[in-house]
Amino acid sequence: MGHHCCSKQKVKRGLWSPEEDERLVRYITQHGHSCWSSVPKHAGLQRCGKSCRLRWINYLRPDLKRGTFSEQEERTIIDVHRILGNRWAQIAKHLPGRTDNEVKNFWNSCIKKKLIAQGLDPKTHNLLPASKSLLHGGGGGGANPSGNNMARFRPNGGGGAAATPFTISSPAKGGFEAAHTGGMPCGNGGFSASMAAFMDEEAAMWASAVEPGMGVAGMDLPQQQQQQQQIQLVQQETAVVGPRPTALMLTDVAATAGAMAGKSVEMVDVSSVVYGGGGGGATAAFDLDLMVESCGMFCGGAGNAMEQLQWDC
DNA sequence: AACAAGCTCAACCGCGGAAGT
DNA sequence: TACTTCCGCGGTTGAGCTTGT
């Protein structure tokens, strides 16, 4: 087979030998890689340019940070992924020294499973259907009527029947708090103790996206600041304008965009939360490239919920 | 100790888009 | 405008390693 780009040549495939690595490193440090297709020829390698590029970017680059991901990096990945989806290259830009491949592998091998274990859909960061029924227990009143974990309510948050102190960004934490504040109908065994314990354990991680004014349990101030910087970076990247929205708002909006674009994003109720809420007519103060590219138009629906969700400060 | 199952991660594949002709 | 080439990205694969039985 071989790559279409190098099918004419006889190229070696598979793992790289130390000698090949050395050749590639030596060549690139001396000449750079302005044209990958010519690199193998000049470096004396029986590889295609694509393979050389991959090897350099993912393994040989001197600025690579290797080793396990820190908790901070993990939080960043989750937060950015919630906004950008599977744009690994974009996500990796927020993690100096990490490659898209590394981030992707870490996501698939680790984070994804964590999310699933928490009953979250790793694609949408929403509760999986099974978990929804678990959390909502089939009981009645007061609970988030949408069943969508992305629906969050502010403590001072205006409207609706939700008087529950939903201040969280984390779906898991939300479920946990709700269960413990009676905001959700736990029912008899609708929300297991073990699950609550698990969520409690994970709360610190999820707290990463909590509004800054709220303080974040389990995260010290520098961490919060660092986290905040990451979120701001994403905001800049997505051309956010206007008042600073929470990471969650970005998430909701971006996810909604994804849903509108039919990208198999299960965000059925997000718009009702972010835009709908209690009616109203404020248009979101977003100009997300992401959204433009996703759906071509921005359904600046209704609702003053956007304002309600903005930063406190 | 031997085997199976699960996991990690480097590498490949195929596609889309940009640039050049 | 149409075509070709190249680059970069995301999805997928599979070899090697680890863990459990």
| Nucleotide nearest A113, from its CA to each C1' | B7
Query: Is pLDDT above 70 for A236?
Result: no
Q: What is the mean pLDDT of residues A110-122?
A: 83
Return the nearest residue to C16, CA–C1': A15
Is-contact A181 A174, C-beta < 8 A?
no
Residue A51 — pLDDT band, cuts 50, 70, 90? Answer: very high
How far, in Å, is the CA of A288 from the C1' of nucleotide B12? 34
> Helices A247-260 and A71-84 meet at what angle, rounded to 10?
40
Q: Distance, angstroms, CA A113 to C1' B6?
A: 13
pLDDT of residue A127: 79
Separation between the CA of A35 and the C1’ of B10 (whole angstroms) = 23
* Alpha-carbon Rg for chain A in angstroms: 23
Whether A201 shows a pLDDT value over 50: the answer reads no
User: What average pLDDT does the segment A228-243 reach?
Assistant: 54
Mean pLDDT score of chain A? 57
For residue A148, give the nearest of A271, A247, A28, A231 by alpha carbon. A271
Q: In this model, does residue A93 exceed pLDDT 50?
A: yes
Interface residues for strand B (CB within 7 Å) are A 1-4, 13-16, 50-51, 54-55, 58-59, 68, 101-102, 104-106, 108-110, 113
Our measurement of CA A280 to C1' B18, in angstroms, reads 43
- Answer positive or negative: Cα dihedral of A12, A13, A14, A20: positive
For A243-289, write each residue's pLDDT tens digit: 333 333 344 434 434 333 333 333 333 333 333 333 333 333 333 34
Taking the CA of residue A225 and the C1' sugar atom of nucleotide C19, their distance in angstroms comes to 39
Nucleotide B13: closest residue by CA–C1': A3
Give pLDDT, residue A52.
92
Nucleotides of C under 7 A from a protein CB: 5-12
**A29-CA/C21-C1' distance, Å:** 49
Q: In this complex, which residue's CA is closest to the C1' atom of nucleotide B11?
A: A14
Cβ contacts, strand C, under 7 angstroms: A 5, 35-37, 49-50, 53, 86-90, 100-101, 104-105, 108
Fold equal for A18-60 and A71-118: yes
Please give the nucleotide, over all strands, whose C1' is closest to the CA of residue A14. B11
Which nucleotide's C1' atom has the smallest distance to the CA of A54? B11
Please tell me the CATH superfamily of domain A71-118, with its number.
Answer: Homeodomain-like (1.10.10.60)
Q: Where are the domains of chain A?
A: 18-60, 71-118
Q: Residue A89 corresponds to which tokens in the numbers above? A: 């290259």
Helices within A155-246 (DSSP H only): 171-181, 193-206, 221-237
Q: What is the pLDDT of residues A176-195, one digit of tens each?
A: 333 333 333 333 333 333 33
Which residue(s) pair with A127 in the sheet? A120
A174 and A119 in contact (C-beta within 8 Å)?
no
Number of continuous H segments (helices) and E segments (strands) in chain A:
15, 0
User: Å between A135 CA and B2 C1'?
Assistant: 45
Phi, psi of A120 (to 5 degrees): -110, 145
As to burial, measured by CB atoms within 10 angstroms (0-12 exposed, 13-18 middle, 19+ buried), residue A15 is: exposed
- A164 burial level (CB within 10 Å; 0-12, 13-18, 19+): buried
Class of domain A18-60: mainly alpha
A89: nearest nucleotide, CA–C1' criterion: C9
Longest dimension (CA), chain A: 71
pTM for this prediction: 0.58
Q: How far is the CA of A112 from the C1' of C19 (A)?
A: 20
**Which nucleotide across the nucleic acid strands is nearest to A103, CA versus C1'?**
B9
